[in-house]
Chain A
């Protein structure tokens, strides 16, 4: 592992923080109105330009070849202010990870070299789905030396924006699931209106209906579930980083509000029950911060048991994010429930993020299954 990254990482974090404060605070409420407000294209294009969508790509492919820790830092800073952009970056990164693992470097190059067009720079992906858990409703069959897919894909993230999508489909002939790249602008693809969701409104999603749509196989036939799980091993800690960012944002705003809001003749921060709630938030936030830092280092260093470290970080931090953001709303009283403040959005976003990469309970069961089957539970 390169050891000279600390300084660089710090700079990257500063850059992400500056970007978040400059680009994400203003217009956050309006963007959250999507699809009843303008689409987030401009912001996404800006984020692509800055390089947030290619942090981990090799340099020769136009990326900045940074470790996962770098992505985690960027996601944390961004999600502190607006997790929608974070979810877009995460979704794209997860898709790229799968493609990379499957050896699709030609595609990666293509994606990163077409920075001029937003739709080409993004890969849509159903990042809330684990194809191994619920059977895909899309079925693929061979057609000549290519493939065709028919059926449904629900909640395709970035679906209305990206030109291409990475999708899992069941093979007509049986065997496991496989991944395919589909051009969403070609025949046989029909895209729904944006799906209305709990949170992450500015990270749009659609339902997809496919009728013999042309598709390119990514990786080997029947190896989709394995590819997905391997990508989740790595990217889970990035999901944890997003939750951690939300926690920090929620706490910071709550603390500031409690210092200013007066009830019962004093700033409410001076009521000990309010302090108790703030303490709970701050401690959870600290735990999340340490967890993400350690787990991402473990992943980058491929330390013993890094896969489970990454997964545990996501599961735990996502739970913490729910607990923190619910109090983050509560501490602002009625104002916390209103769109004018970002706290209600953080609460919705956090609760939506827990569904990333499949059912939370199944992710827990998978975690323990791997230990039962022999992976070490502890690093030491």
Chain B
């Protein structure tokens, strides 16, 4: 396996400082303003929670039980009005340019009140992360500006990410498995573009999105080497949206089927394919994994943050209940065992947060948007208004040479060990935080007894919502294996992953 910073020394394991203490290593290296932005994002989320999320969360959940095909446009429009769909789009592409690191505490806040609504906003950046991970600057510019336009016009322009297929879920998240996968979403190269056939399933926000970042394969026998990413827009001939799943939780956020029947995607909608990536130092397969890793390194800590929100929501409801309820003649909160149980929940929530914050440091230094954290770049971008960039950027963003240069810089520039560290830690945060969240839900339900099982007490919804966190963005099993591959494997050269 690839070495990460260290090579195996006998049977020892001696990690580098930044592998285990990246946050400490980052002290002074990250712009202070990024922390200010985190606080501001948190405050903004709290305001939004008070005004929109908390008053509507239970009602939306109930509405969806009554009518599982309901689409929560009113919420999406409200989030659009608040500017959340462009908040983390860089100013270079017309967005508000908030530092990417500020998104995760924002997501935690929202998730504390409603995971479904947090996802309705968060998934936007899953789609956009896929787009950014291809480093196709022209398409990034075009689609991001449409999103910004959608904000101005009040017609939300959302972006979904379509990877999973009926027969390939785990397999679609890992190139080593992809070579054996039963993927069916075929992109056949034809004159002037691709002809796509196949189906994607469980696509969050599918029914609500205008753009869909589609992963397909030129050769279904060699998907690991022929992955393509296509920008599909609603209304394209041969593209339709199918069924909407009936889920246990996160009900407000639709999971959609996307259907492609001889759908023609023109060349100028190709975010990346093997052809475009020629000239980079990695093979097509390695580049495919690099793209996946760029995405999941950014989004899995986001799931960690959602899980932290769930752990915290459960804790808060349990505490509220313990302070209000008398049991065996005294307030629950005054029983020693209940205090220990609440302490356990506090610990779970805090550990979950620590994992995603560590990822924030790692991503800030080495991840998708690390470029924006170089102090001169950061402060320059922060101090100039978007309108300034709007005057100069679109023209250069549209030029092919820009994409070429950026890819050289970012993709070729990324060191293996940095990619592995980010991906491994993202997995750690994803499965650790989501397991901790489930544990907190269980503890809250135990503490609350009969009250906990009622939908009007909120906590059972958190349990239903949180279970999804262990499944999407790669199941927790895949994420354990990815941690092994990225953080342990390099020290155990004899180890093979996905080959047993």
Which residues of A lie under 8 Å from residue B62 when comparing CB positions? Answer: 196
A326, B245: Cβ atoms under 8 Å? no
Residues of A within 8 A of B168 (CB): 263
Residues of chain B contacted by A199 (CB below 8 angstroms): 453
- Whether the pair A265, B453 counts as a contact (CB closer than 8 A) is no
Which of B167, B248, B255 has the most CB atoms of chain A within a 10 A radius of its CB? B248
Complex alpha-carbon distance, A129 and B448, angstroms: 11
Contact check, B454 vs A263: say whether CB atoms are below 8 A apart: no
Q: Determine the distance from Cα of A277 to Cα of B464 in the docked complex, in whole angstroms.
A: 21
Residues of chain B contacted by A147 (CB below 8 angstroms)? none
**Is the beta-carbon distance between B477 and A358 smaller than 8 angstroms?**
no
Q: How far is the CB of A264 from chain B (nearest CB, A)?
A: 5
Encoded as 1 (CB less than 8 Å from any A CB) or 0, chain B from 306 to 336 comes to: 0000000000000000000111100000000
* Among A262, A339, A359, contact of B327 (Cβ-Cβ < 8 Å): A359
Q: Which residue of chain B lies nearest to A130 when distances are taken between CB atoms in the complex?
A: B449
- Considering only CB atoms, which chain B residue lies closest to A347 in the complex? B467
B498 contact from A264, A322, A352, A365, Cβ within 8 A: A264
CA gap between A354 and B180 in the complex, in Å: 42
Encode contact with A along B381-416: 1 for CB under 8 Å, 0 otherwise: 000000000000000000000000000000000000
Chain A residues numbered 340-380 whose CB sits less than 8 Å from any CB in chain B: 340, 344, 347-348, 351-352, 354-355, 358-362, 365
The CA-CA distance from A365 to B202 in the complex, in Å, is 44
Contact with A along B152-188 (1 / 0, CB 8 A): 0000000000001001111100000100111000000
The CB with the most chain B CB atoms within 10 A, among A133, A264, A271, is that of A264
B464 engages A198 (CB within 8 Å): yes
Contacting residues, chain A, for B442 (C-beta < 8 A): 322, 351
Contact B456 A196 (CB under 8 A): yes
Given known A-B contacts A264-B171, A334-B169, A359-B327, A154 and B450 have beta carbons under 8 A apart: yes
Q: B475 contacts which chain A residues (CB < 8 A)?
A: 330, 333
Q: Does B460 interact with chain A (Cβ within 8 Å)?
A: yes
A15 CA / B453 CA spacing, docked (Å): 32
Contact indicator B446/A337 (Cβ below 8 Å): no
Partner of A360, one of B248, B325, B449, B463: B449
Q: Are B453 and A352 in contact (CB under 8 A)?
A: yes
We find that the number of chain B residues with CB closer than 8 angstroms to chain A is 55
B247 touches A339 (CB 8 A): yes
Q: Which residue of B177, B338, B467 contacts A264 across the interface (Cβ within 8 Å)?
A: B177
Q: Complex: how many Å from CA A348 to CA B455?
A: 12
B126 to chain A, nearest CB (A): 15
**Set A134, A273, A277: member contacting B326, Cβ < 8 A:** A134
Measured CB to CB, the closest approach of chain A to B493, in angstroms, equals 21
B456:A198 contact, CB within 8 angstroms: no
Contact of A128 with B202 in the complex, beta carbons under 8 Å:
no
> In the complex, which of the residues A195, A197, A274, A334 contacts B202, with contact meaning CB atoms closer than 8 Å?
A334
Nearest-neighbour CB distance to chain B for A36, whole angstroms, equals 5
Docked pose: A271 CA to B478 CA in angstroms: 11
Kindly state whether residue A338 has any CB partner on chain B within 8 Å. Answer: yes
Min CB–CB distance A21 → chain B (angstroms): 24
A197 touches B180 (CB 8 A): no
Docked Cα-Cα span, A197 to B458, in Å, equals 10
Task: Check A134–B454 contact: CB distance below 8 A.
Answer: no
Flag if B500 contacts A271 (CB, 8 Å): yes
Question: Contact: A338 with B245, CB < 8 Å?
Answer: yes
Q: What are the residues of chain B within 8 A of A6 when measuring CB–CB?
A: none
Q: Among residues 209 to 266 in chain B, which have CB atoms less than 8 Å away from a CB atom of chain A?
A: 245-249, 255
Shortest distance between the CB of B338 and any CB in chain A (Å): 7
In the complex, A329 has a CB within 8 A of chain B:
yes
A-B residue pairs, 3 tightest by C-beta: A265-B180, A198-B460, A196-B455
With contacts A265-B177, A337-B468, A348-B464 known, what are 14 further pairs, Cβ within 8 A? A133-B327, A134-B326, A154-B450, A197-B455, A263-B169, A265-B180, A329-B467, A333-B471, A336-B471, A337-B247, A340-B246, A351-B453, A355-B449, A355-B452
A-B residue pairs in contact (CB < 8 Å), sample of 22: A36-B65, A133-B328, A134-B327, A155-B454, A196-B65, A262-B167, A263-B181, A264-B180, A264-B498, A273-B480, A333-B471, A334-B201, A334-B202, A334-B471, A338-B248, A339-B247, A339-B248, A348-B460, A351-B445, A352-B460, A358-B449, A360-B446
